[in-house]
Amino acid sequence: MNPSRRNFLAGAGAAGVATASKGYGAPLRNVLALKVTNPDAPALDPKVRGCEFPPNIVTVAGRRHVFMSGGMSYAYTVERDFHLLKEPNRMFETERLYAIGGFDYEMIRGVRAFNCDYDPQKFYWKKTYCGTFNVDVLPYDGREQWVFSINHCENKNERFVRPFGTFYVHNSINRNDPSGPDTSSGPTPTGYRDYQPGYFGFVSMSYAPVTAETKWGVDLQQHDMGAILWPRTPFLTTDGKTKNPLYKNPHPHPSSLVAEDPRDGKKYIYVWAIETPAREDASNMIIAARSPVEARGMPGSFLNFYRGDYTEPSLPKNMNQDIAVLATLPGGPSEAIHPTCEGRMNRFFVAQLKRSGLFLSIESYSVTEGQERYLESALRLSQDLRTWTERFVLPNSRVSSRQIHSPTPPFGLYYPKFLSADGSSHYLIDESEPFYIIATKPHALVYRELSIKIA
């Protein structure tokens, strides 16, 4: 971002506004202006640990579930009046229920036996890691109600160091690159290191009917649909021997929203994810796809946002082919949902505002200035989930990369999302009262109160 532009937005504090630009879609019908009325709100630590990204709150069938996740996901079923930020310890007084996980994480943590017949080629999208980045409920339409999750999945070479030994697990996308001491992601004396040549990422979907058999929507592993989006650049080169040099982003970090399209009045499941950039000067970009609610999120029903609308199938045409073939195929065309996307994106999350009907997003990203790297957050507005305003940099959100893992403030906001004032929803926010941004720092929950005014 141009330094003078950034200083105007952030330095203006409560008086700062973000206005609409044309973007990639049709022009916004009105000029939208947003200001944060509590710009000095601090990021706080509610003392919740063990969450790589913020928990997901789901309220359904008279119950409230809290999904906590990393490479594997667990859920706690709590009373409907439970508030994650006001009384988090109540959650840990209930039973921890297994929801879904990556194959290798399941073995290392004892969910599956080491000698099981679980085929990692069949479930390649979650071989190593399967985290419930976004959990929601499909609206009741006369059919069985579902809790569904949009999952961030990983398939990579990884090293697990456990008290009883060190284990190497191999990716199943490029079988020419096995895992070893020098070809694995894992802990090192200087910190965790990712081995990028053997690291691949997926966006998948799983669901659980809201029945007693699924613990009322918790047991997501029984209905795992597999990949619903596919990268626009193939994972591997045409000969299938090496990682495609154009594939540069194995970290999709997805989010989703069930919403009505203001243009046609129909409901869709919208998904946003991080993708390899189309522009050479960009680090990555945010893409969008959607599926009609009546399709129940089935693979093949998602269309990518491209050239101003949702038109291009996300998946390759024949998903029944072996992964060795699929890995050499591109997904459908896609493009960035907004042109101003400076920095390396960490996540993009969207909720609908109750009073105005507008859509509010929050994104976190890292930027480099000189020798320093910073994490920062920003808000945007949209009327139609096609065109977005320019960034409104969230005041008081910039944190040096050297402080990100600090146990004391200031805290950076990793993987941010919204939470309503009453703690019941991430997706429908009443903007007439203060609500929350929840995030991690990472692996521990942090939050910040947010008050906004829209003109």
- What Rg, from alpha-carbon coordinates, does the chain have? 21
Higher pLDDT, 13 or 434: 434
pLDDT of residue 283: 86
Tell whether the model's pLDDT for residue 274 goes beyond 80.
yes
For residue 250, give both structure tokens.
Answer: 């194995």
Structure confidence at residue 338 (pLDDT): 86
Q: What is the Cα–Cα distance from 343 to 345, expressed in whole angstroms?
A: 6
Q: What is the pLDDT, as a whole number, of residue 321?
A: 94
Domains of the chain as residue ranges with CATH: 3-454 (2.115.10)
Q: What is the mean pLDDT of residues 277-284?
A: 83
Question: What does the alpha-carbon distance between residue 226 and residue 389 come to, in Å, rounded to a whole number?
Answer: 33
Mean predicted confidence (pLDDT) in 65-70: 94
Structure-token pair, residue 37: 């009325």
Amino acid 366: pLDDT: 94
Strands 428-429 and 344-353: parallel
Contact partners, residue 419, CB within 8 Å, separation at least 6: 57, 84, 85, 425, 426, 435, 436, 437, 438, 447
pLDDT at 336 over 60: yes
Backbone angles phi, psi at 38, to 5 degrees: -130, 65
Determine the pLDDT at residue 12.
Answer: 31
3-state secondary structure at position 327 = coil
Reported as a pLDDT band with limits 50, 70 and 90, residue 29 is: very low
Cis omega before residue 410 (within 30°)? yes
Residue 275: closest CA among 250, 295, 300: 250
DSSP letter for 438, please. E
Q: What is the pLDDT of residue 143?
A: 75
Smallest Cα–Cα separation from 128: which of 110, 105, 107?
Answer: 105
**How many C-beta atoms surround the C-beta of residue 86 within 10 A?**
9
CB count in 10 Å sphere of residue 262: 15
| 340 pLDDT higher than 90 | no
Structure token pair of residue 82: 């439970």
DSSP H or E segment with residue 108? helix 103-108
Over 50: is that where the pLDDT of 349 sits? yes
Q: Both tokens of residue 252?
A: 């999709």
Residue pLDDT, tens place only, 286-334:
999 999 999 999 999 999 999 999 999 999 999 999 999 999 999 999 9
Rounded CA-CA distance 338/97 in Å is 39
Strands 96-101 vs 72-78: parallel, antiparallel or unpaired: antiparallel
Q: What percent of the chain has pLDDT over 90?
A: 76
User: Is the confidence at residue 163, as pLDDT, over 80?
Assistant: yes
pLDDT, mean of residues 414-426: 97
More reliable by pLDDT, 362 or 13: 362
What is the Cα 151 distance to its own chain's centre? Answer: 8
Buried b (16+ CB within 10 A) or exposed e, 4-37: eebeebbebeeebbbebeebbbeebeeebbbbbe
pLDDT over 70 at 21, yes or no: no
CB contact at 8 A, 100 and 130: yes
167 neighbors 187 (Cβ within 8 angstroms): no
Q: State the pLDDT confidence band at 403, using cuts at 50, 70 and 90.
A: confident
- CB of 258 within 8 A of CB of 268? yes
What mean pLDDT value characterizes the chain? 89
pLDDT at 112 over 90: no
> Which pTM was predicted?
0.92
Residue 236: count other Cβ atoms within 10 Å of its Cβ.
22
